[in-house]
Amino acid sequence: MYVADSRAGTPKTSAAASAEGAARPRAGRRRAAVAPTVLALGTVSLITDVSSEMVTAVLPLYLVAGLGLSPLGFGLLDGIYNGFSALVRLVGGHLADRGGGRHKWVAGAGYALSAACKPLLLVATSLTPIGLILAADRTGKGLRTAPRDALISLSSTPENRGRAFGVHRAMDTAGALFGPLVAFLILRTTVDGYDAVFTVSFCVAVVGVLVLVLFVPGGSGTGGGFGAGAGSGAGAGSETKARSDTGTGSETNARSGTGTGSETKARSGARADEAAAETGPDAAVDTGGDPAAAADRRRAAPRPTLRAALALLRRRDLRRITVCALLLGLATVSDSFVYLLLQRRLGVPDRWFALLPLGTAAAFLLLAVPLGRLADCTGRWRVFLAGHGALLLAYGLLLSSWHGSALPYAVLVLHGSFYAATDGVLMAAASDSVPRELRSSGLALVQTGQALARFACSLGFGAAWTAWGDRTALTASAVALACCALFSFRLRPTPPEGLA
């Protein structure tokens, strides 16, 4: 194709066509809507979430009813469970970026550490050892989250990034849907129900680690070429095609040229072609479609360090996203507290408590992909703030005097809608403001701020519940959430060019 073009056109035209071909799939070949890497990581997350949500579903009841912890003590452990990972997310992101291809293996270490913690719950019966085990488990989550999301981001283009995260979150939530159901069945059919739940959870987690090792692409090229290949929808074939086209089309141009100028143009076209294959579509978009400029920018990029990661906060849009995620996290009541509030409000028997997360997971599963696509079309920040509006409505229903049979369904649907509109959408929005070479570290910054804020919220909510009661604590959280949402609307980041 490019040889024929070179005969009919100038060397400059051939180089441009070749560079364009390196950044898009071969003609006649349909671009994959979602990269295979996203589907592989979604499968890992599905299996792992079955394991973790089995524990999460029974943990509030196990700690409060089984071990007799106060709301303040439970708030401390819940804060550790949901916020401790913030302390290591920056480390995980930094290790993945610095390794130039360690995204898979850093994520794998995190998954393995979390799996190893599950059987330790069998021997822990007091606050201190349980807290240490939960802290180790969340350390594993902190290590894996940013590298995993960076792999998803690097495997997609800016135009379909919201959909890619939506598909992954939907698969992840499918595991969250099955986990509580499995825990419920185990509690109903075994004598030592909690011990059986922890044992089965460990076995399932090991399967998730094996799937990651065997089926998720990795290696030294993952950090750069992997993102380019997957993002263009053609995988390694697109890179091979770009290089082979460079060796044919550009050579033909050089031979058919009539002087030094033609040869120089052909060689510069070859360099541009190589740059397109090296940097991929993401970089080409960031540099106005000039792959040669993208290669120069990548060579001039600073070496991934913790200082370079923290310096990302100088970027206005990323700084705004991080601040908003932190503020909104301060007013986001933990899932476990929402379920405990529902149980107290409706008098749900203990044996049915493990089923409450199913409502949230089902809504999340059904809405994650549609809301991800909506975010790509209408603007990610709008969908993100609308999700917090759904959470505010859920708080309002819990505070209202309505006691109808539809109350738990309405609250859980709104709760799931909140996660569907915010979890993956936030990472897609942050990815637009982070360079490829620091993608994992940049996402870790946002996740760290949000996780620390939710850790503080769990502690504060538990203390407020103990001191003034659950209703007062939830009212204060609802007011804080409304104020933070209004502030975040005013501070919204600028959407990238070409997206709503």
Q: What is the C-alpha to C-alpha distance for residues 291 and 433, in angstroms, rounded to an integer?
A: 19
* Helix boundaries (H) for 287-347: 291-300, 306-311, 316-330, 335-346
Q: Give me the mean pLDDT over the 5-14 stretch.
A: 39
> Residue 89: which residues within 8 A CB-CB, separation 6 or more?
142, 143, 145, 146, 444, 447, 448, 451
pLDDT of the residue at 51:
94
Radius of gyration of the chain (CA): 25
- Percent of the chain predicted with pLDDT > 90: 35
Express each pLDDT in 343-365 by its tens digit: 888 887 777 887 888 889 899 99
Highest mean pLDDT among 66-75, 122-131, 216-225, 370-379: 370-379
Residue 1 identity (one-letter amino acid): M
Q: What is the C-alpha to C-alpha distance for residues 154 and 299, in angstroms, rounded to an integer?
A: 18
Express each pLDDT in 287-306 by its tens digit: 455 556 555 655 555 566 66
> Residue 432: which residues within 8 A CB-CB, separation 6 or more?
158, 161, 317, 380, 495, 496, 499
From residue 147, alpha-carbon distances to 62, 83, 88, 101, 488 in Å are 32, 18, 12, 10, 27
pLDDT of the residue at 171:
94
Express each pLDDT in 399-442 by its tens digit: 998 888 889 999 999 999 999 999 999 999 999 888 888 888 88
**C-beta of residue 14 within 8 angstroms of C-beta of residue 268:** no
> What predicted TM-score, i.e. pTM, was given to this entire model?
0.68
pLDDT of the residue at 500:
47
